[in-house]
């Protein structure tokens, strides 16, 4: 995988973290209910937030902060340098 692909993947992860965190912050009950699932592995991820909107909001703030931190650490490739 090239350095550019890794940077783009990290950028997409940051965007997901920020967006998911914002939704969890603003609409915690709706967001958790949407992700509830019959698949045990998926449901295990959201189960701790069921009935605990304050916990989901706190996690949302953490996600937003981590996503912004990740994105802020990504640097573009030097101009004129093609990725390998």
List, for residues 28-66, the tens digit of each pLDDT value. 999 999 999 999 999 999 999 999 999 999 999 999 999
Residues 6+ apart with CB under 8 A from 9: 1
Residue 24 pLDDT greater than 70, yes or no: yes
Mean of all residue pLDDT scores within the chain:
91
Domain count, the chain: 1
- pLDDT number for residue 4: 86
- The model carries a pTM of 0.83
21 in any annotated domain = yes
Spell out the alpha helix ranges (H) of the chain: 3-26, 28-35, 40-46, 53-73
Q: Is the pLDDT of residue 72 over 70?
A: yes
**CA pair distance 17, 10, nearest whole angstrom:** 10
pLDDT at 18 over 80: yes
**Quick check: is 83 in a domain?**
no
**Which residues constitute the domain of residue 13?**
3-73
Is 78 within a domain?
Answer: no
Please give the structure tokens belonging to residue 50.
């069921």
């Amino acid at each position: 995988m090239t350095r550019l692909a890794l940077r783009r993947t990290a950028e997409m992860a940051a965007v997901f973290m920020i967006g998911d965190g914002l939704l969890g912050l603003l609409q915690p009950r709706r967001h958790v209910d949407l992700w509830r699932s019959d698949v045990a592995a998926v449901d295990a991820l959201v189960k701790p937030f069921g009935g605990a909107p304050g916990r989901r909001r706190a996690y949302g703030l953490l996600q937003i902060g981590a996503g912004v931190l990740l994105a802020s650490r990504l640097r573009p490739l030097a101009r004129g340098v093609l990725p390998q």
